[in-house]
Structure 1
Amino acid sequence: MNFVSTKRIFFETIFLFISFTIMTTNSFSQSTKPTIVLIHGAWFGSFAWNKVVPLVESKGYNVITMDLPGYGNAPQSLANITLNDYVNAVVDLVQPVKGKVILVGHSMGGAVITQAAEVIGVDKVEKLIFLDAFLLRNGESILDQVGKIHRAMKEAGNMEEKKIVADFLVFSEDRNLCTIAAGKTSEVFAHDCPPEDQAILNSTTRWQPVSALATPMNVSDKIYGSIPKYYIQCAGARDLDRTSILNNMPCQKVYTLPSSHSPFFSMPDKLVAIVDEIATN
C-alpha cells in the first residue's frame, strides 16, 4: 500500500469517526430532551396550543397536550368535577412518559401543575413553567390569590382603569359553575390575537366548576418546593394584573411577553423561544 492510499484511508476513517460522533451526539441530545406537557387554563382547551405544538416539536422535543375533564369534544358532566380530577388526569397522562417532563401551566393550569408536580415527584418533573398563571403556596387556592391580586390592584389605585375577569363572570343559578359573558372571552383574554383565534375562543367557552378554583394546594417544600420554577408574565393581559404574585414562590427567572393573556395565539414563536430557553438551561 503506497503513501497516498494510506493517507486517504486515514482521512476517510477520521471523517467516518467524526460523522458517527456527531450523529450519536445529536441522537443522544434529542433522546434526553424532556417531554413538554402543556396544560390549558379555565375556559380554554387543548386547542390553545395548536400553534405552539409544531414549533416546540421542530426544536426536537416530544410534546403532549390534553383537555382537562369537562373540556374538549366530549365533556363530562361538570357537576362533580374537582381540582383532583384535573390533577389525576395530568398524572395519568405523564406517568407513561419515558424520561423527564417539563410541566407548562397556563392561568388556572398553574394550580393544576402545582398539585400534579407534588404527586408525580422530583424524579420525573424537571421544571415547572407558569404561563401568566396562578403561582400558589401550600394551603392557598386560586380564589385566595385572586383576592390578593384585587387588593394589590386596589392599593395601586388601578382598579377603576383596568377591567378584571370578575367583571365578566356569569354564574349558574346554584353558583357552582361560572363562565365568561357571551362573546366576551376574547375581549378579556385575547384582545391582540387574530380574529380566527378570537372566534374559536368565543365559540368554545365552557362552564368552569367553582370548586376547582376554591381548592387549596396540598404541597410540600420537599417536592413541589424543590422543583425549579419559571414564570412568563403577559404584560398586556386584561384579565388580571399578576405582578403582585410574582414573588409568591421563588422562581429561577421571570420572563415578560408584551401580549394578552393568550400569547400562544398572538406570538407563539416568542413563547416557544422562551420555553426552549428554559428547557435548555
Structure 2
Amino acid sequence: MPAPHIVLIHGAWQGSWAFAAWQPLLEAAGWQVHAVDLPGNDRSPERAADAHLRGYTRHVRELLARLDAPAVVVGHSGGGMTASQVAEAAPGRVRALVYLAGMMLPDGASYGDVIAQCRAADPGFAYDGVDPHLQWDAARGASRVPAEAALALFLHDCEPAAARRAAARLCAQPETGRSMRNRLSAGRFGSVPRVYVECLRDRSVLLPLQRRMQALAPGARRISLDCGHVPQLACPQALTAALLPVLDDLPLAPLPRHAAAP
C-alpha cells in the first residue's frame, strides 16, 4: 500500500520551514510529507496579491490534486483556517483535518469574535496576544513579529538555539492573510474527521481560546500536550506519538502500519 500523504500548512509570519523539526519523524513513521509555502509568505513575497483565504485555499487544493490519494491536512495556528476552507472546497481530497493550536472556527466567525466571546464570558480574561508587539509597514498592509516577542510568546519552551533560529526566520505577513472568515457547511467541511491538538502552555492562542473554538466547532478528537504554541518544534516526538495513533483510530480507510515514534 502506498505511504499516506500529510499536508502541513503553516501559520502567520512563517513558511514551510516551520515544520522542519517534525517532518523527519513523520517520514520515519511512513508518511509522505508535503509542507506548503502559502502565497505571499516567506519564499513567495511577490505573491502578496494571493495572500488571502481564497488564494491560500487554491494553493493547497492544487497540491492535493497532484497527489495520488487524499491527504491528512494539518493547520498550525492561523493555518487552521486554510485547512478548514480546503476541506469545504474539496472534502473528497482530505482524509482528516488536524489543528495544532489552530484556528478551528465555525462558519462566518473570526478569531476576533472568539476573543470577544471569551472576554464576555469572563470579564477578567486578559488577552492581548502578539498584536501589541507587531511592527507594521508604512501602509499597515503587512506586519512582522520582532524576535523578542516571538521568543516570549511563540517559542518560549523550545530549545533555545532552535527558538532563536525560528524567530529569525519569521517573515512579513500580509494583513489580508490574517483577517479572514471561513465559509463552511455541515455537508462538506462537517463530513471530514477532525483532531484538535491543544497546547496547554500556549501564550499566543491561550487555552481558553482553544477550548472556545472547540466548543464553537464541536466534533473534533482532542489531544492535549503540555507545551507552548509550536509543538512541532517544542516537542515533535510527543506530538508524533500522540497524533499518529489517533489518526489510525479515525473512521478512515486503513493506514499503513507506522513505525514507533523516536
TM-score (norm 1): 0.80
State the SS of the aligned residue for 1:95: helix
Does the CA-based 8 Å contact 1:163-1:238 persist in structure 2?
no
CA shift, 1:102, in A, is 0.6
Paired residues for 1:110-149 under 5 Å:
110-121=80-91, 123-149=92-118
Out of 171, 178, 192, the residue aligned to residue 143 of structure 2 is 178
Identity %: 28
| Aligned-partner residue type, residue 6 of structure 2 | I
Give the corresponding residue for 2:31: 61
Q: Deviations over 1:82-113 (max 9, x none)?
A: 22111111111111111221101000110000
| Distance change in 2, residues 1:163/1:48 (3 Å) | same
How many residues align? The count is: 246
CA distance in 2, matches of 1:178, 1:149: 25
| Distance change in 2, residues 1:67/1:80 (3 Å) | closer
Give the corresponding residue for 2:172: 207
Give the corresponding residue for 1:223: 188
Q: Deviations over 1:112-169 (max 9, x none)?
A: 0000111122x221111111011111112334334434545xx16241xx66222322
Out of 69, 81, 95, the residue aligned to residue 65 of structure 2 is 95
2:124 is aligned with 1:157 = yes
Does the CA-based 8 Å contact 1:105-1:130 persist in structure 2?
yes
Unaligned runs of 5+ in 2: 250-262
State the SS of the aligned residue for 1:247: helix
Does the CA-based 8 Å contact 2:11-2:78 persist in structure 1?
yes
CA distance in 2, matches of 1:190, 1:150: 25
Q: Deviations over 1:64-87 (max 9, x none)?
A: 111111223343253562221111
Give the corresponding residue for 2:253: none
Q: Which has the higher contact order (CA 8 A, sep 6+)?
A: 2
Unaligned runs of 5+ in 1: 1-30
RMSD of aligned C-alpha atoms? Answer: 2.0
- State which structure, 1 or 2, has the greater radius of gyration over its C-alpha atoms: 1
Does the CA-based 8 Å contact 2:9-2:79 persist in structure 1?
yes
Does the CA-based 8 Å contact 1:42-1:109 persist in structure 2?
yes
